Amino acid sequence: MSRPLSKTEANLVITRQVAREVIAGVRNRWAAANHLEIVVWSWNAPDAVLSALFAINDEIGWEERYRRSIDTLNRELLNLFASLARLTDSDIRGFSGFAAE
């Protein structure tokens, strides 16, 4: 018997879909990172991958002399989206990044 998705699980399904759209070239990677950080996760990263994505999303706004190159940030951001796009339903159902809701 299946159970309803938790809020965290639902957010992970949304995150996976957004990541897949980025990888497919349908969605702008920076707009997607912003959307995930603010709208979906309310600035609360549930794991290291999303934490790294949020950090890159913040770093892009730093003065050029303090941040890594745009090429480096773009490459790392795409790698993180690729990781999120590969989430399986089992990964989402078994997610333990947050304490119980």
The structural domains of the chain, with segments of one domain joined by +, span 7-92
H/E run at residue 16: helix 7-24
| pTM exceeds cut of 0.85 | yes
Three-state SS string over 27-57 comes to CCHHHHHHHHHHHHCCCCCCCHHHHHHHHHH
Residue 4 binned pLDDT confidence (cut-offs 50, 70, 90)? confident
* Measured distance between the N- and C-terminal CA atoms of the chain, rounded to whole angstroms: 20
| Residue-wise pLDDT tens digits, 9-58 | 999 999 999 999 999 999 999 999 999 999 999 999 999 999 999 999 99
Nearest to 45 by CA among 63, 28, 30, 33: 33
